[in-house]
Structure 1
Amino acid sequence: MQISNGFLGIAATAVLIAGVASAQEQSSNRVATKTDWNVFVEENPKECWSVSVPTDTVNTRDGRVVAANRGQILLMVSYQPGANVAGQVSFTGGYPFRAGSQVTISVSGTEYSMFTEGEWAWPASASDDEKMVSALKRGADAVVTGISSRGTTTKDTFSLLGFTAAVEDAEKRCSG
């Protein structure tokens, strides 16, 4: 699998975005709320992203529901004009993913795969990002499934109410 420059930019950005959890509650860089999605902007370097937290989370191991200690769970779409990143989907499950595993995102009955690295997951290519964003714009919710390094399967459901408005707002803010 080839890792794009966009991936490297997003990986570097992951450190910044890791603080989105508290940023969603108290950040001065949140510029808009669109129903269940928020829009954030960083100025130097210019970055814009739409982000949401899950409306439902289920953790299972060996077919049984279990408690799991997880950090912030986020689904986001990012724009970084300086790194030629436009509409990159990413997900963090709040735990390290099992090495070599993939995360799936199901929207309206169609599944998309994302590769994992540490606590983050991304689609493999820009064209995969485009397909996912298009599906997310049309869907009502998205279910993201991953496997932790400890073998826990997680299913996080995200409302897509406000997704289109938030993504279009983030894109517009980073287009010029």
Structure 2
Amino acid sequence: MIRRSALPLATLLVLAALAPAQAQSARVLGDFRDWSSYAADDGGGTVCFAMTKPKSTEPTPEGYSEGYAYITNRPGEDVVNEFNVVAGYTFQTGSMAVANVGGQEFPLFTQSDAAWLDDAGQAANLAAAIRSGSTLVITGTSAAGTEVVQTFSLSGATAAQQAIGAEC
């Protein structure tokens, strides 16, 4: 399943994270411990997102570049708490990944180096788990067939989500 509207957004988010000077429409809403919040105009309205980098990636896949986890609000599309991971490595074609917060597991579908909730109806539940948890663990399979575990701190996630909620 390909969510076409999320693919351009993922590109925008990566550009905003990696090259803020090039993504001039992105503005910082705040930095909150291990999370940061941004707002940007994607041509279809304002998009707000909270993001963080993994604290660890084990083992480090070949060709790895920095990964990110995002929670996004797109009010013009009635999207709230959309979860997305840009892993920094290519997932094995057709594989699923899993987000785990405090023992709660959320299946993720993958495409290239990105993953989204397999059941978008679970977005509010995952966002709530992230606000109340301490660690987010993403387990995926690399294109080479290696299981990769990325661990993200959730310190600051609540404030980051509040910031995007207030803006979008």
**How high is the TM-score relative to the length of structure 1?**
0.84
Distance 1:67 1:98, change over 3 A: closer
The CA distance in 1 between the partners of 2:28 and 2:121, in whole Å, is 28
Q: Is the 8 A contact 1:24 1:38 kept in 2?
A: no
Specify the SS of the correspondent of 1:8: coil
1:94 is matched with 88
Aligned CA RMSD, in angstroms, stands at 2.0
2:47 is matched with 47
1:35 is matched with 33
1:104 is matched with 98
The CA distance in 1 between the partners of 2:67 and 2:159, in whole Å, is 21
Question: Structure 1 residue 79: deviation in Å?
Answer: 0.7
The CA distance in 2 between the partners of 1:120 and 1:159, in whole Å, is 19
Distance 1:162 1:26, change over 3 A: farther
Structure 1: runs of 5 or more not aligned: 60-65
Structure 2: runs of 5 or more not aligned: none
Amino acid aligned to 2:160? A
Question: Structure 1 residue 68: deviation in Å?
Answer: 2.9
Count of aligned pairs between the two proteins: 164
**What does residue range 74-93 of structure 1 map to in structure 2 within 5 Å?**
74-93=68-87
Question: Structure 1 residue 96: deviation in Å?
Answer: 1.7
Distance 1:140 1:25, change over 3 A: farther
Over residues 54-99 of structure 1, what are the superposed CA-to-partner deviations in whole Å (9 max), with x where a residue is unaligned? 111211xxxxxx6632123001100111122111000011122111
Greater mean alpha carbon deviation, residues 24-33 or residues 90-99: 24-33
